[in-house]
Structure 1
Amino acid sequence: MNRLSPLIVRRTGRFAPAEALPLPSGMSAQAAGSMAEDLKLFVTFWIGGLVFFGTFLA
């Protein structure tokens, strides 16, 4: 399971709305650090994809 699994609440039914649980106050500092790490990883792979497909299509 990933770190978002405790935040996901599933309801049954055809048109059941999705609801997220509120974050506990102790997770805010940890979430900020992991968000920066996720953003850094995303930007790295996005730039890598630009380089790869730029050279592949050139």
Structure 2
Amino acid sequence: MNRLSRLIVRRVGRFALAAPLPEPMPFGGIPAAQWLDDLKLFATGWIGGLVVFGTFFG
């Protein structure tokens, strides 16, 4: 047993079932904006550059 085991409480009785959550609305037929794709590509390249040059100079 670890020291956190006394903090873990098992639900019993009427609180044992999880509350059902409503299903989210899908974004299925809505095309993404083209500028958003460009922004994602730019951000990915910029962060990748930070990682690469950060390892070179770090």
Larger Rg: 2
More helix by share: 1
More strand by share: 1
Give the TM-score, by structure 1 length. 0.43
Give the TM-score, by structure 2 length. 0.43
